[in-house]
């Protein structure tokens, strides 16, 4: 295991951003009229901006309309993880903003189609589907045992320590 002095926090921040950008979907926790809900949505990171595309049929749509605050989890596919107990993951608090159907919408949907396939030729025309931008705040990034980091709202990364400044005991 690497020592704290050997960990470059700027490299960790970049790794976290690359990991998030590599995910094709994101887990979401929302609250709304029906209470708490865990779900997921197709996801795209486009030039550092975060987007999901969701249907009005989904409960998380109604939750986000009622309360724009949500929590996100980006998580490594368990089939690719070297250890199921130490999957790479990143959490973030976020604020949802529903996007208008304009030229920006069309450009983003072109990228969704490139990333996620031709189904988006159909979905983009369905009026009950909505593009949502997620503005990420503070969160965390975990690469494995002893490699857990807090992420401040401004993007600063801090190595997370356990009790008495130590890692796992």
What ranges do the domains of the chain cover? 4-159
CATH 1.25.40.10 describes domain 4-159 = no
Q: How far is CA 89 from CA 23, 110, 140, in A?
A: 10, 27, 8
Per residue in 85-113, pLDDT (tens digit) is 889 999 999 999 999 999 999 999 999 99
**Is the four-CA dihedral 35, 135, 93, 111 of positive or negative sign?**
positive
pTM flag (> 0.85): yes
How many Cα atoms sit within 13 Å of 47 on the Cβ side? 3
- What share of the chain in percent tops pLDDT 90? 79
pLDDT on residue 162? 62
Say whether pLDDT at 2 is over 60: no
């Amino acid at each position: 295991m690497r020592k704290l002095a050997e960990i470059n926090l700027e490299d960790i921040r970049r790794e976290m951003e690359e990991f998030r950008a590599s995910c094709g979907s994101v887990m979401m926790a929302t609250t709304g009229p029906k209470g708490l809900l865990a779900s997921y949505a197709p996801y795209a990171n486009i030039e550092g901006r975060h987007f999901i595309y969701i249907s009005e049929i989904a409960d998380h749509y109604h939750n986000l309309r009622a309360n724009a605050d949500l929590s996100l989890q980006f998580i490594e596919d368990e089939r690719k993880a070297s250890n199921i107990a130490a999957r790479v993951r990143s959490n973030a608090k976020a604020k949802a903003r529903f996007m208008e159907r304009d030229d920006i919408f069309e450009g983003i949907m072109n990228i969704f189609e490139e990333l996620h396939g031709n189904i988006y030729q159909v979905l983009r025309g369905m009026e009950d589907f909505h593009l949502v931008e997620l503005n990420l705040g503070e969160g965390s990034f975990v690469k494995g045992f002893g490699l857990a980091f807090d992420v401040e709202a401004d993007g600063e990364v801090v190595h997370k320590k356990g009790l008495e400044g130590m890692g796992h005991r």
